[in-house]
Amino acid sequence: MKTQTKQCLDAISHLSEGACPDREMLRCILQGRNTETAAFAAELAAQTRDRVYGRRIFVRGLIEFTNFCRNDCLYCGLRRSNKNASRYRLTEEEILSCCELGHRIGFRTFVLQGGEDAYFTDKRLCALVRAIKAKCPDCAVTLSVGERSAESYAALRAAGADRYLLRHETADASHYALLHPAEMSLSHRMDCLRELKRLGFQTGAGMMVGSPGQTEESLLDDLEFLLELRPEMVGIGPFLPHHDTPFRDKPAGSVELTLYLLSIVRLMLPEVLLPATTALGTASAGGRTAGVLAGANVVMPNLSPPGVREKYLLYDNKACTGLEAAEHLSELRAEMKKIGFAVSMDRGDHACCGK
């Protein structure tokens, strides 16, 4: 066996035994990736997930409630410079009926995701959170609405929001600058994440894999940042090009590397809630299943009104039907059953929540 493979297998074993990895150990793991080490990482990650959460997959009803965005991220189809995007914003009534429908289907977590849309002031967003909580008191509300002030996050938390997703996208400041307009910064992003944690949100960070300019050092920065922040959730998906962005001709990120990173993150943060993302499911036909086999334990079916789903186009061909659609939960159940998992309709809080 090649020394590199052997060292990588040893490092993966140590990680699964709870060793806190330093950068060299993480580098050894990244550099040693091959089919053998990836299978080993996936097996240990799956064992870890099973030990913490059992063979259960949590589902979240994803409501993409506005695609207006003040930001101009170079990778994203919702960027403000994309004049071809057909913009929409759901009304409070529409959002509430998505939740009602989702609740009837059995969802107990709603993820409200949107661009950074100035229409959704703290007053409006807090009222929305309160209305959802009043209608569905047994549900968790997750927000994914980007960077806001500390006061705004505090108000949303006080209104009853339980969780917040804000991917850091890349923890390498120079890479961050390649992906984002000058007015955005990694340090502000990180401040937001730390504030969310401080306020008691179950907080989600995460990165795209294979976004233009990403290097091995960027991924090491990502892994070190995740170790330091210890987010309750980590969203990892491959970069996929969108035809109306400056990155239209850039190659998509690797599915295999994404799966490997899911396994590594599961081993680094055993209790993490780890979604098999829509981007992973879009990039490869069996992507979501492969994600679960690599250590993921969450899927987020689309609960947005069918008429707007194709307008929330972060990247080309974004999946929103079949296994991705909330109304097809039985297909998802069957798919998960095939690989030995049960879809759980519990709120699916982080294992350390309340402890």
Neighbours of 188 (CB within 10 A): 11
CA nearest neighbour of 114 among 100, 94, 131:
94
Pick the stretch among 232-240, 295-303, 305-313, 321-329 that binds ligand 5AD (CB under 6 A).
Answer: 232-240
Q: Is 59 in a helix, a strand, or coil?
A: strand
Least Å from the CB of residue 104 to ligand 5AD: 26
Q: Interface residues for ligand 5AD in 261-280 (CB under 6 A)?
A: 279
Q: Which of 334, 335, 217 is nearest to 285 (CA)?
A: 335
Segment 62 to 81, residues that bind ligand 5AD, using CB under 6 A = 75-76
Q: Which helix (H) or strand (E) holds 65?
A: strand 61-66
Q: Does 237 bind ligand 5AD (CB under 6 A)?
A: yes
CB of 218 to ligand 5AD, least distance (A): 14
Please say whether the beta carbons of 272 and 48 come within 8 A: no
257 touches ligand 5AD by CB under 6 A: no
State the nearest-atom distance from the C-beta of 277 to ligand 5AD, in Å: 8
- Provide the sign of the torsion angle of the four alpha carbons 41, 42, 45, 47, taken in this order: negative
CA distance 45 to 30: 15
Residue 127's Cβ-side half-sphere holds a number of Cα atoms within 13 Å equal to 8
Assess 242 for contact with ligand 5AD (CB under 6 A): yes
Coil vs helix vs strand at 89: strand
| Residue 169 binding ligand 5AD, by CB under 6 A | yes
| 298 forms part of the interface with ligand 5AD (CB under 6 A) | no
Binding to ligand 5AD by CB under 6 A, coded x per residue (else -) over 310-329, reads ----xx--------------
- Is 208 an interacting residue with respect to ligand 5AD (CB under 6 A)? yes
Least distance (Å) between residue 65 CB and ligand 5AD: 13
The DSSP bridge partners found for residue 235 are 206
Give me the helix-helix angle, 255-268 and 3-16, nearest 10°. Answer: 40
Nearest of 272, 259, 239, 246 to residue 353 by alpha carbon: 272
User: Applying CB under 6 A, which part among 39-47, 85-93, 116-124, 235-243 lies near ligand 5AD?
Assistant: 235-243
- Looking at beta carbons only, is 37 or 202 nearer to ligand 5AD? 202
Q: Kindly identify the residues of this chain, within the stretch 175-194, that bind ligand 5AD according to CB under 6 A.
A: none
Provide, rounded to whole angstroms, the least separation between the CB of residue 117 and ligand 5AD: 14
Q: Which residues bind ligand 5AD (CB under 6 A)?
A: 75-76, 167, 169, 208, 237, 239-240, 242, 279, 314-315
